[in-house]
A and B are shown apart, each in its own frame.
Chain A
């Protein structure tokens, strides 16, 4: 599979894994291993005075971290969270999540756009989690985001691709990196996204909440690789009529 370049760094894997919701740390580690991912997402949360604060040390393999601003509703909250993440994880990468409501967890496009501008000015490399609106994706890309990350359906819903046409438009309009970052339910969703020419997939719930997360992680790895290889080898044009693969020439006769 061709290498992926983000911020001048090359990666073999096009699958970014979330680290939340796994039944335990062993299953998380096994799943990350099986996924072949090189980048994992992480959140920033208040220190737990009576609990475990060593999450990062429990992740066995070395990964590149993509911290997120999950749960932020305002520009102010998101910027401070990004700054704390940068201080904590020593990376200027930030997956900017700025949501507008608690029920659907949909991104707030207006607040998101303004916050992106501010974070870029502050030297962050922004991965913008956004809705699957081609114009918004294009505007975010033009503003200087490292990657736009449209959802295909609400976070954790597992509903998969709801608007394939929009995804096609996004790919057509944006020349930079595009990852899909929410709503994937099954490996075929990941594969489909990659076949559409997207640069990668970020997922969490579909693996963590499955019955066998390490095996599902492997399935996602294969699906992403399969979709990418399919895209790179040039999918055939669709036809409304059948086109025979076996020639009629030389057929014994028409009885």
Chain B
């Protein structure tokens, strides 16, 4: 019985944990951004990382956007403190012409 208990530092479990960890980290996760599905392989499940991934190479300045996660505003100062999960719904908005 004792042998079956999980020991994080046991070499066998260390290898197993590393395997599980790397598998999780290397799997593409789906996020619904502005109503469309996007798959990203993230190493860090912070909202700020996802936003960075999304706007990179698009020439978009992050100071000109606002973000909501699952229908709740997340202030810019909170992006790097906010955890995201697979299938989260993210809205990224900009100012636009309006009457």
Which chain A residues have a beta carbon within 8 Å of chain B's beta carbons? 18-22, 28, 41-49, 53-57, 65, 67-68, 70, 76, 80, 83-85, 87-89, 155-156, 204-205, 208
A57: which B residues are within 8 A, CB to CB? Answer: 64
B92 engages A55 (CB within 8 Å): no
Partner of A54, one of B64, B75, B99: B64
Residue B65 interfacial (CB < 8 Å): yes
A47 engages B92 (CB within 8 Å): yes
Partner of B94, one of A28, A55, A156: A55
Q: How far is the CB of A80 from chain B (nearest CB, A)?
A: 6
A80 engages B68 (CB within 8 Å): yes
Residue B58 interfacial (CB < 8 Å): yes
If A67-B95, A70-B98 are given as contacts, then 4 extra A-B residue pairs at C-beta distance below 8 Å, sorted by A number, are A44-B95, A48-B94, A53-B94, A80-B72
Residue B97 interfacial (CB < 8 Å): yes
B93: which A residues are within 8 A, CB to CB? Answer: 44-47, 84, 88
Within residues 3 to 23 of chain B, which ones have a CB less than 8 A from any CB in chain A?
none
Q: Most chain-A CB neighbours within 10 Å: which of B71, B91, B92, B94?
A: B94
Which chain B residues have a beta carbon within 8 Å of chain A's beta carbons? 34-35, 55, 58, 60, 64-66, 68, 71-73, 75-76, 91-99
- Specify the chain A residue showing the minimal Cβ separation from B76: A87
A20 to B93, CA, bound (A): 17
B34 engages A46 (CB within 8 Å): yes
A45 engages B96 (CB within 8 Å): yes
Q: Most chain-A CB neighbours within 10 Å: which of B73, B94, B95, B99?
A: B99
A55 engages B75 (CB within 8 Å): no
B98 engages A88 (CB within 8 Å): no
B94 engages A87 (CB within 8 Å): no
B95: which A residues are within 8 A, CB to CB? Answer: 42-44, 55-56, 65, 67, 88-89
B99 engages A53 (CB within 8 Å): no
A45: which B residues are within 8 A, CB to CB? Answer: 93-94, 96
30 pairs of residues in contact across A and B, judged by CB atoms under 8 Å: A18-B98, A18-B99, A22-B97, A28-B97, A41-B98, A41-B99, A42-B97, A43-B99, A44-B96, A44-B98, A45-B93, A45-B94, A47-B55, A47-B65, A53-B60, A54-B64, A55-B94, A55-B97, A56-B64, A56-B94, A67-B98, A68-B98, A70-B99, A76-B71, A80-B71, A80-B91, A87-B73, A88-B65, A88-B66, A88-B95
- Specify the chain A residue showing the minimal Cβ separation from B65: A47
B76: which A residues are within 8 A, CB to CB? Answer: 87
A156: which B residues are within 8 A, CB to CB? Answer: 99
B73 engages A83 (CB within 8 Å): yes
